[in-house]
């Protein structure tokens, strides 16, 4: 009796065989894969569940299935990448024969910018150094107001004497420059007219210094006040009681649609460009003491605003004005993007940026001293203008997308007229 009880206890305490326990756990997994391989919908996978196939055959089927899955995933990813990045812009090209389109924009840069009266007020603060300031006036105003100027005529001691830091160059120039669109005498002010109607004209900050732009959709965002002080200029009282256009339109049935941009004295440099963009300093007309007359027409490319809401920039391959990815400008155009590209080239090659670029960023970038402008920039002229050349003769891709709304300006005839 005791022997039987002892044998029973020993049989109860005997541990279950470990391999049997593992097989019991893996059995449902084995059944699942067996059913999956035998009845799976994936092409070729059923062959892996056939018991009659040799191991080598199963290995070959595994290789084929893996290869097919690889190409399937790759093709799917490429299709998704194409959907996200390939241009799908739907645009209409409009010309003046059938559509109402905007006239080309003009930007005029006077070569003599410093106002004598404002300068005399500034000089009065330094009466002990007035003779030097007179010399400083005739050199500084002609040199430092021009991008890439040759500053050999500016004595270093004068800049040191006046304690003018490079970061203050542009604000000083702006303070000593009268806004010609706000002259008291209406007959002398810079203005743009179409018969008895006016087109808005603004003092703008460009890569060519302080200039004046008319017939532009974006000039209000590029005013000297906006870029240097961070706020738009006060409303021009002159236009309060006038019929004012931001941009002038015309078509074939309007006949010759013209406007006159007048009020400039002395030498000027003229840029014509799209009203949807800013100037390109690589394309300018030579200095002139005479007036220019252009005969031109435009071709506009437009697309729907709804298109912007339902697509991404990478899908379109273009940007609307509010879609700025720039650090120094709050709106986007291809021309402004190229300006920021030049700014970055200057910073990378010279360690600073020229004074005529807006610098309302945190932290501000260092502004170039006039000596740096003289030494560093002339050898890189082709690189700044055409984005090629430089020490290593490299070409630079600025990755600037096109404008989603833009126009192409075609000049048919240019003529100089004496004042």
Residue 290 has pLDDT above 70, yes or no: yes
What percent of the chain shows pLDDT beyond 90? 27
Q: What DSSP state is assigned to residue 234? A: P
Query: Mean pLDDT across the stretch 34-58?
Result: 67
Residue 102 has pLDDT above 70, yes or no: yes
The DSSP code sequence of 280-295 is: -TTS-PPPBSSEEEEE
**What is the overall mean pLDDT for the chain?**
79
Quickly list H helices, 251-399. Answer: 305-309, 313-316, 334-350, 370-376, 381-386
User: Which pLDDT score, from 0 to 100, does residue 134 have?
Assistant: 43
**Res. 14: pLDDT tops 70:** no
Residue 179 predicted with pLDDT over 80: yes
Quote the pLDDT of residue 26. 72
**Cβ–Cβ < 8 Å for 241, 257:** no
What's residue 95's pLDDT?
61
Structure tokens at 122: 């500034």
Q: State yes or no: pLDDT of 70 exceeds 70.
A: yes
Query: Which whole number is the average pLDDT over 193-208?
Result: 91
Residue 17 scores a pLDDT above 70: no
pLDDT attached to residue 30: 66
Tens digits of residue pLDDT in 306-353: 777 778 888 888 899 999 999 999 999 999 999 999 999 999 999 999
Give the pLDDT mean for 190-207.
92
Please give the average per-residue pLDDT across 280-298, as a whole number: 82
Burial of 213-249, coded b for 16+ CB within 10 Å and e otherwise, reads bbbbbbbbbbbbbbbbeeeebeebebeeeeeebebbe
**Whether residue 383 has pLDDT greater than 50:** yes
pLDDT band at 300 (very low <50, low <70, confident <90, very high): confident
Predicted pLDDT of residue 91: 59
pLDDT at 219 (0 to 100): 94
Q: How confident is the model at residue 154 (pLDDT cuts 50, 70, 90)?
A: very low
Average pLDDT over residues 21-48: 67
> What Cα–Cα distance (Å) separates residue 174 from each residue in 114, 212, 268?
8, 13, 18
The dihedrals phi and psi of 232, each to the nearest 5 degrees, come to -70, 160
- 132 pLDDT above the threshold of 60: no
Cα-only R_g, the chain: 36
- The pLDDT value recorded for residue 18 is 59
Angle between helices 130-143 and 116-124 (to 10 degrees): 140
How distant is the alpha carbon of residue 130 from its chain centre?
Answer: 43
Which of 295, 294, 296, 288 minimizes the C-alpha distance to 418?
Answer: 288
Of 59-68, 185-194, 275-284, which gets the smallest average pLDDT? 59-68
Give residue 136's pLDDT. Answer: 45
Residue, of 91 and 12, whose pLDDT is higher: 91
Please tell me the number of Cα atoms within 13 Å of 241 on its side-chain side: 0
């Amino acid at each position: 009796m005791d022997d039987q009880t002892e044998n029973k206890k020993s049989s109860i305490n005997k541990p279950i065989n470990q391999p049997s326990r593992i097989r019991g756990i893996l059995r449902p997994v084995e059944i699942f894969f067996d059913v999956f391989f035998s009845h799976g919908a994936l092409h070729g996978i059923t062959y892996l569940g056939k018991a009659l196939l040799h191991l080598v055959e199963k290995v070959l089927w595994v290789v084929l299935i893996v290869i097919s899955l690889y190409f399937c995933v790759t093709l799917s990813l490429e299709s998704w990448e194409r959907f996200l990045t390939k241009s799908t812009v739907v645009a209409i090209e409009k010309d003046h024969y059938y559509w109402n389109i905007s006239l080309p924009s003009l930007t005029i840069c006077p070569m003599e910018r410093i106002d004598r009266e404002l300068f005399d007020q500034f000089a009065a603060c330094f009466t002990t150094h007035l003779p030097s300031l007179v010399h400083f006036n005739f050199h500084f105003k002609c040199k430092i107001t021009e991008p890439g100027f040759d500053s050999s005529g500016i004595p270093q001691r004068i800049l040191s004497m006046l304690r003018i830091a490079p970061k203050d160059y542009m604000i000083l120039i702006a303070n000593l420059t009268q806004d010609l669109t706000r002259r008291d005498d209406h007959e002398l002010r810079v203005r743009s007219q179409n018969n008895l109607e006016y087109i808005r004209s603004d003092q703008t900050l460009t890569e060519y210094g302080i200039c004046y732009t008319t017939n532009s959709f974006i000039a209000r965002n590029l005013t000297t006040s906006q870029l240097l002080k961070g706020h738009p200029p006060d409303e021009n009282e002159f236009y309060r009681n006038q019929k004012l256009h931001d941009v002038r339109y015309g078509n074939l049935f309007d006949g010759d649609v013209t406007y006159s941009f007048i009020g400039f004295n002395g030498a000027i440099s003229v840029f014509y460009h799209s009203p949807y963009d800013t100037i390109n300093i690589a394309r300018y007309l030579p200095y002139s003491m005479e007036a220019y007359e252009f005969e031109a027409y435009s071709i506009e490319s437009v697309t729907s605003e709804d298109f912007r809401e339902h697509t991404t920039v990478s899908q379109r391959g273009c940007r609307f004005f509010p879609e700025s990815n720039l650090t120094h400008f709050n709106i986007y155009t291809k021309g402004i993007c190229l300006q920021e590209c030049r700014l970055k080239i200057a910073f990378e090659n010279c360690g600073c940026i020229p004074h005529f670029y807006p610098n309302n960023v945190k932290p501000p970038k260092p502004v170039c001293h006039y000596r740096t402008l003289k030494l560093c920039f002339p050898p890189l002229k082709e690189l700044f203008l055409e984005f090629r050349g430089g020490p290593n003769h490299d070409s630079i891709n600025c990755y600037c997308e096109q404008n989603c709304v833009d126009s192409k300006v075609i000049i048919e005839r240019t003529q100089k007229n004496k004042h």
